[in-house]
Structure 1
Amino acid sequence: MAHHVLMVCSPAQGHINPALELAKRLVKKDLRVTFATTAHGLSRIHQAIDIVSFASYSDGFDQGFDNSIAFADYVSQFKRLGSETLAALIRNLASQGCPVTFIIYNSVVPWSADVADELGIPSALHWIQSATVFVIYWNHFRGSKSSSYLISTTNVRVTGMPLLNIEDLPSFLQPSNTNNIAVESLVELFEMLDSRRIDWVIASTFDALEKDLISAMEKENMTLLSIGPLVPSAFIDGKNPEDTTFGGDMWEKSKDYMEWLGSKPVGSVVYVSFGSLRVLSPMQARNIARALSESRHSYLWVVGSSEKALQNIEIEDSERGLVVGWCNQVELLAHPSIGCFVMHGGWNSTIESLVAGVPMVVLPEWSDQTTNAWLVERVWKCGVRAKVREDGVLEEAELKRCIELVMGGGEEGAEMKKKARELSWLAKDAWKEGGSSEINLDRLLEKIVA
Structure 2
Amino acid sequence: MYSTLLAVIYVAFVSLGLPDALVGAGWPVMHADLGVPIAFAGIITMVIAGGTIVASLASERLTRRFGAGTVTAVSVGLTACALVGFSLSGSFWLLVLWAIPYGLGAGAVDAALNNYVALHYAARHMNWLHSFWGVGAAISPFIMSYALTSGMGWDGAYRTVGIIQAVITVGLIVSLPLWRKVHAVAPVHTDDEHDGGATGDATTGDGADRPAPSTGHVPLATALRIPGVALILVAFFAYCGLEGTAILWASTFLVADRGVEVATAAAFASLFLLGITGGRFLAGFFADRIGDVQLIRGGFAALGLGVALIALPLETDVLALAGLVIAGLGCAPIYPAIIHSTPVNFGRRNSQAIIGIQMAAAYTGSTLAPPLFGVISACAGAWTFPYFLAVLVVLGLVMSERLNRLVARRGRGGELSPSTSGATRS
Shorter-chain TM-score above 0.5 = no
Q: TM-score, normalised by structure 2?
A: 0.28
Higher relative contact order (CA 8 A, sep 6+): 2
Greater share of helix:
2
Greater share of strand:
1
